[in-house]
Amino acid sequence: MATQEVVSGLDKLSAVSCEIQAIVRSLKPAVEEKLNRSFSIFHAISYRSQLVAGQNYFVKVVVGDGDDYIHIRVFEPLPHTGGQPSLGEIESDKKLFDKIPYF
């Protein structure tokens, strides 16, 4: 579900695409290292994005059975830079219906 983006602002909540899911999966080891936790479940369920000199993604990720979620911020540089997506901040102890804010 594509939504219109606002420069320097977050767009509306969107369903996760295959591209976003792949980015999130690739960052699982970095998230586990940063939180000093290992996850048997690690699946993005929704996100918001922010257009910058690249793209910031603010992603809700289910990380366990029940109501165990985290929010991660991912930066994806512009394609011409050749850079890879990188992990920014993490907010833990989130629930399914917690809104995804800017962080």
Which of 83, 86, 68 has the alpha carbon at shortest distance from 27? 86
What pTM was computed for the model?
A: 0.86
Tokens of 4: 């219109």
- Per-residue model confidence (pLDDT) at position 79: 87
Instruction: Please report the domains of the chain, with CATH numbers, ordered by start residue.
Output: 14-94 (3.10.450.10)
Beta bridge partners of residue 73, listed in sequence order = 58
The per-residue pLDDT string of the chain (103 residues; one tens digit each, 9 = 90 and over) reads 444 444 448 888 889 999 999 999 999 999 999 999 999 999 999 999 998 889 999 999 999 877 899 999 999 999 888 889 999 999 999 999 999 989 9
Q: What is the pLDDT of residue 32?
A: 96
Look at the block and give the residue holding tokens 């993604």. 57
Nearest to 14 by CA among 52, 53, 65, 55: 55
